[in-house]
Amino acid sequence: MLRLAQRFIDEMVAHARAELPNECCGIIAGRDGTAVELFRARNAEASPYRYEVDSQDLFRIWRQCETNGWDFLVVYHSHVASEAVPSQTDVRRATWPDAYYIVVSIADPESPSVRAFRIIEGNVSEEQIEVA
């Protein structure tokens, strides 16, 4: 189970809306399984269909995490027109086996959906999000 403060969920949804018409992406850093910082990143694909965390942003975020003793707790991105489940492309590109993957769907702008998954070697399992 992933525990997140409401502010992190609100920030991911706000980021998804701000990046329309493209998908957004980012990282939530954590320590001992507790979320501590959300980092917005640029979508290097600049696409409404896929995302890739910009390499410069990824390096900047990784350095900040290393300096502070944080881990990549969550890798998140949005879906602008489909439900909040990882696509086959998302599954193929999942390279952080210890991280949760969150998909934020804003297909229904009035009722965004935020869901968490573990993706390990192509196997996807949904994880509950507990709002702290």
Q: What percent of the chain has pLDDT over 90?
A: 97
Question: Could you tell me if 105 and 113 are in contact, meaning their C-beta atoms sit under 8 angstroms apart?
Answer: yes
pLDDT digits (tens, 9 = 90+) for 22-69: 999 999 999 999 999 999 999 999 999 999 999 999 999 999 999 999
Provide the number of structural domains found in the chain. Answer: 1
Which residues are CB-neighbours of 108 under 8 A, at least 6 positions away?
none
Check which CATH number belongs to the domain holding 79 and give it: 3.40.140.10
Task: Give the domain extent around 107.
Answer: 2-131
Q: What is the pTM of this model?
A: 0.96
Is the pLDDT at 113 greater than 90? The verdict is: yes
